[in-house]
Structure 1
Amino acid sequence: MTSVSLPAQAQQALSEFQQYKSWEQRSRLLLRWAEHLEPFPSEAQCETNRVLGCETKVWLTAHQCKGVWHFQASSEARLLRGLLALLLVRINGISATELAQLDVQDWFQQLGLAHQISSSRNNGLNAVIQRIQKLMQAPV
């Protein structure tokens, strides 16, 4: 488990997912969380912002303000949008140092989703995480 503090929205997500024990219930909740993503500008849906390594199209942007990072993402696939929403509520608003300490797999484990994510979706999430790390290393 990581020592990085849990943002309020992430705590809300964790509370919601811990209420459900079955994958069917959690998958419905995951689809509802897809609606939590911020609207992604259509002009940002370009190859420059595309995450390679995902089966479906995924776009990701990042900016840093006052020492914390804010990421925005979207996907063509609703289930993946739900996973992205859960990832972003966990990582948005934390510093690069905190983000480097964060165990994303543990986050999805806490949500009860780690064992239910298919290998292809897991590969896609790993591609998103790698892209996040790359964006954080780029000059601001």
Structure 2
Amino acid sequence: MSTFPQNPFGSEINADDVIATMQQMRGWEDRYRQVIQWGKKLPVMPEAFKSEQVTVSGCESQVWLVSEQVDNTWFFCADSDARIVRGLIALVMAAFNGKSSEQIQQFDVDGYFEQLGLIAHLSPSRGNGLKAIVEQIKQLAA
């Protein structure tokens, strides 16, 4: 059994739910607010987990990512000191948490973010940071 929440939101929400919700939003501002709301629902990472070894490099904000594999299923706990980044982490967790290594490697993350309509509105450093988080998850699950 994982020591992390099975689902980072405390309820069932997955990549398909995120896409469906985001595609109902009218504009960038509504999407941005929704991402921040999901970030608020993301469990706060215990301070004991936050160390230099689990810091994601390539992010402008502080981002910590810890993982655990239980029976070929990956569980992640991640946090950031920036509200919007916490929301972006929530989107990543919806896609990858509770998945097998194979599912993580096969997930079309570029297509996912394209369907969310977010990348074009993120600063280059935020976009790079988001890619760094995804890359680290994929490396862990390789």
When normalised by structure 2's length, the TM-score is 0.85
Q: Deviations over 1:51-78 (max 9, x none)?
A: 1111110000011112111111100000
Q: Unpaired runs of 5+ in structure 2? A: 1-11
User: Is the 8 Å Cα contact of residues 66 and 78 (structure 2) preserved in structure 1?
Assistant: yes
Instruction: Tell me the CA shift for residue 8 of structure 1.
Output: 4.4
Q: Greater CA deviation, 30-39 or 72-81?
A: 30-39
Q: Which residue of 2 aligns with 1:44?
A: 49
Q: Which residue of 2 aligns with 1:20?
A: 25
Q: Deviations over 1:60-119 (max 9, x none)?
A: 001111211111110000001000001101111111111111121211111121221221
Q: Which residue of 1 aligns with 2:111?
A: 106
2:46, 2:129 → 1: CA distance?
Answer: 21
Matches within 5 A, 1:1-140: 8-137=13-142
Q: Unpaired runs of 5+ in structure 1? A: 1-6
1:47, 1:8 → 2: CA distance?
Answer: 30
1:133, 1:20 → 2: CA distance?
Answer: 29
Alpha-carbon distance change, 9 to 102 in structure 1, aligned in 2, over 3 angstroms: closer
Runs ≥4 in structure 1, deviation > 2 angstroms? 7-12, 133-137
State the aligned residue count.
Answer: 131
Cα RMSD for the two superposed structures: 1.5
Q: Which residue of 2 aligns with 1:4?
A: none
User: Is the 8 Å Cα contact of residues 9 and 89 (structure 1) preserved in structure 2?
Assistant: yes
